[in-house]
Amino acid sequence: MDRFVLYLDIEHPLALLDRYKRSRHLRGMHRKSQIFRDLSGCGCLVQSFIWLDGSGLDDLPLLAIVISGNTTDWDRYSQAQLRQPYEAIKNPPVPVLGLCGGHQLVGKAFGGRVAPMRRLEPGEVDPYPKYRPGFFKEKAFTEVSVDVENPLFQGLGGSITVSESHYCEIKRVPSCMDVIASSRDCRVQAVAHREKPVFGVQFHPESYDADHTDGRRVLENFFQIAREL
């Protein structure tokens, strides 16, 4: 059987009760899964985290696991809901890459702490006032500094320009992980486990375009890492 990428959707089911939001979310997941198919050269299966059965992952012909972002605050998730995703991250059968909220989930799985970056200062403009008003957000293509040499950034320079859309960040980095990229406003833009093929990026590498292709290269590098293991 051919290998495939498991794209783990970690959006909370409560966020998808609205028909419009659910339709938009599903379209986005389909579009991103097609990107992963193209860049990995493999199939891609989208799976909600609530149906994840960690006991069977070792038996699947996986190339890699990519973990999606989410719009739901972490306090809405129960520990029971996160048990299986944590297990897949802490004992990965294949390389794992967390994107945005998935990056935060990677940090939480190893004991890190996630919280909003900060409150907006008086008079500071909110670039996206309909989402978590009052909090500072990174929302646009943003320059990120590559602080540590890592295969995830192979072929890229000392800084990359990638798409951001978040208001939380990893505040306490697990001792088993290294911070490998940062930005002016977000200290933890990317992490890598010191012993396991587990990575997280706070940005959205899948949201690249013709003028900003660094995200594409990050994904290509990740899938190359997966093929070589």
pLDDT tens per residue across span 72-126 = 999 999 999 999 999 999 999 999 999 999 999 999 999 999 999 999 999 998 9
Out of 25, 103, 193, 204, pick the active-site residue.
204
Q: Is 44 a catalytic residue?
A: no
153 has a pLDDT exceeding 70: yes
CA dihedral 119, 125, 126, 128 (to 10 degrees): -170
Q: Which CATH superfamily is domain 4-228 in?
A: Class I glutamine amidotransferase (GATase) domain (3.40.50.880)
54 has a pLDDT exceeding 80: no
Q: Where are the domains of the chain?
A: 4-228
Instruction: Determine the Cα angle at 89 with ends 85 and 95, to 5°.
Output: 130
32 has a pLDDT exceeding 90: yes
143 has a pLDDT exceeding 70: yes
Q: Is 206 a catalytic residue?
A: yes
Out of 138, 164, 169, 206, pick the active-site residue.
206
204 has a pLDDT exceeding 70: yes
**pTM for the predicted model, two decimal places:** 0.97
Out of 42, 44, 100, 168, pick the active-site residue.
100
Q: Is 204 a catalytic residue?
A: yes
pLDDT on residue 1: 63
